[in-house]
Amino acid sequence: MEKKLTNGAIDFIDDKLFHNLINNTKEDLPKIREILAKSKTKQALTLDETATLLAIKSPEAREELFDTAKELKRSIYGNRIVLFAPLYIGNYCINNCKYCGFRSSLTKAVRKTLTEKEIIANVSQLEKEGHKRLILVYGEHPKYTPEFIAENVKTCYGVKEGNGEIRRININAAPLDVGGFKTVKESGIGTFQVFQESYHKETYAQYHPGPGIKSDYMWRLNAMDRAFEAGIDDVGIGALFGLYDWRFEVLGLVQHSIYLQDKYGVGPHTISFPRIKPASGMALNLPYEVSDQEFKQLVAILRLAVPYTGLIMTARESKEVRDAVIEFGVSQIDAGTRLELGGYQEKRKEDQDLDREQFKVGDSRELDAVIQWLLSRGFLPSFCTSCYRLGRTGEHFMEYAIPGFIGRFCTPNAMLTLAEYLEDYSSEATKKAGYALIEEELALIKNSNKREDLSTKLKKIKEGKRDLLY
């Protein structure tokens, strides 16, 4: 299925095959049930099996899909949800993606690159709110060299505000060459994300007309190969939903995951599935807009198709949609999100100025409100960065598949990082709800030695110790 092109690029997206699967797979309840049963054993799905789930139309099959996704999410990820904040560093851009508020043809866009001082001020503010994990976001511009990105990463890690510190930094920036990825990796990043936007080549060409290198579909499609070659084993992929048929994009994401897993022994660390939101001067008439129902279905299908890949639902979605979808497979969300460059330093504005921001945010709640909501739903908010800091990345991250991994590491670390948050940053109401959930979780630990050990660590946090981890 893979095609090596004359310039050495590898095309693993077979449009014809995807269209065949979409057009010729009809809803088949017995087959769907077989696949759902296989999913319960935490095995990844093939493209054919994914296509069978994409063909689901009846409410009956849909409910069974949702129930299975919910169950699988709980059994692999427990009830924890990892929290992070995006920090936009610069919005200069040479590309002209038709849907983006940073596109080069948008002359009224207010362009800015944060200075070192502004980065420090924004990170301090994020730390004061309780954040421990950031994703740095960039337009594509010669200013944003790998060295520049690496320097920004070091600056962010260096900011210590009270008990606060940033313990993991991910990147969402233009795809780099191998040397560039190496430089950024050496600065100590977690995941490097590049979204393909659309896996469908004609659609890709239509929305990325150039100028700018983003018009080169293959350069982007092979970005993660270059990242792996550079030694980055935590990569994040994604598709921008609304450009083309959502079922094609899901097949693209699953095929991309299978390709990386087969070739490098590691699938993507995360998958993102942003839906297009209004942006400045955007007169987009989206023939493939994804409804809320389809959105929920695509998240559930991704959960089953790539059980060990984290799924990120961003604040592009409204709080209502996040509430309705989170339990079907999401493992990470951003919170307290501000897109305006330097926006964390300022008082939150009532309305967004789209000439200064990439797109309209759907969920603008502060971090504490998001944590309260998660707790009220029985989710365990987590700021854990333990795996990455203890070298459990890439292939080792697949230890996730080992029985007991969640119980040994993820849930206790979520409890410890939540306790830090409750001690240092939370409102009284959140503190009460947070400790109530921690107590419930403690009571669920059957092994008394483990329970004791965790209780001791929690006590130490109350006494002022920080950064205790498993």
Q: Which residues bind ligand SAM (CB under 6 A)?
A: 99-100, 137-140, 172-174, 194-195, 197, 240, 274, 276-277, 279, 316, 358-359
CB 375 within 8 A of CB 431: no
Residues in the chain: 470
Coil, strand or helix at 85:
strand
Return the beta strands (E) in 106-172 as ranges.
Answer: 133-138, 160-161, 164-165, 168-172
Comparing CB distances to ligand SF4, the nearer of 204 and 421 is 204
| Contact pattern from residue 84 through residue 103 relative to ligand SF4, giving x for each residue in contact according to CB under 6 A and a dash for the rest | ---------x-x-x--x-xx
- Whole-number Å distance between alpha carbons of 329 and 306: 10
Amino acid (1-letter code) at residue 317: E
Residue 184, phi then psi, degrees to nearest 5: -70, -40
Q: Please report how close the Cβ of residue 321 comes to ligand SAM at its closest, in angstroms.
A: 13
Q: Please report how close the Cβ of residue 221 comes to ligand SF4 at its closest, in angstroms.
A: 15
Neighbouring C-beta atoms of residue 408, cutoff 10 Å: 15
Comparing CB distances to ligand SF4, the nearer of 238 and 268 is 238
Comparing CB distances to ligand SAM, the nearer of 167 and 277 is 277
Q: Please report how close the Cβ of residue 185 comes to ligand SAM at its closest, in angstroms.
A: 17
Could you tell which of ligand SF4, ligand SAM, none binds residue 204, using a CB distance below 5 to 8 A set by kind? none
Q: Please report how close the Cβ of residue 93 comes to ligand SAM at its closest, in angstroms.
A: 6
Amino acid (1-letter code) at residue 309: T
- Whole-number Å distance between alpha carbons of 204 and 111: 25
Strand partners, 293: none
Give yes or no for residue 272 binding ligand SF4 (CB under 6 A): no
Comparing CB distances to ligand SF4, the nearer of 90 and 190 is 90
Comparing CB distances to ligand SAM, the nearer of 195 and 421 is 195
Q: Please report how close the Cβ of residue 375 comes to ligand SAM at its closest, in angstroms.
A: 28
- Whole-number Å distance between alpha carbons of 12 and 27: 26
Beta pairing, strands 3-4 & 10-11: antiparallel
CB 159 within 8 A of CB 120: yes
Could you tell which of ligand SF4, ligand SAM, none binds residue 103, using a CB distance below 5 to 8 A set by kind? ligand SF4
Coil, strand or helix at 160:
strand
Give yes or no for residue 175 binding ligand SF4 (CB under 6 A): no
Could you tell which of ligand SAM, ligand SF4, none binds residue 435, using a CB distance below 5 to 8 A set by kind? none
Q: Please report how close the Cβ of residue 100 comes to ligand SF4 at its closest, in angstroms.
A: 3
Q: Please report how close the Cβ of residue 168 comes to ligand SF4 at its closest, in angstroms.
A: 22
Q: Among 432, 344, 433, 340, which residue's Cα sits nearest to residue 129?
A: 344
Per CB under 6 A, the list member of 49, 127, 129, 140 interacting with ligand SF4 is 140
Per CB under 6 A, the list member of 62, 214, 226, 316 interacting with ligand SF4 is 214
Name the token pair of 58: 């009846």
N-terminal to C-terminal alpha carbon distance within the chain? 42
Comparing CB distances to ligand SF4, the nearer of 243 and 253 is 243
Residue 298 buriedness (CB in 10 A; 0-12 / 13-18 / 19+): buried
Could you tell which of ligand SF4, ligand SAM, none binds residue 426, using a CB distance below 5 to 8 A set by kind? none
Could you tell which of ligand SF4, ligand SAM, none binds residue 86, using a CB distance below 5 to 8 A set by kind? none
Given the rule CB under 6 A, which residues bind ligand SF4?
Answer: 93, 95, 97, 100, 102-103, 139-140, 214
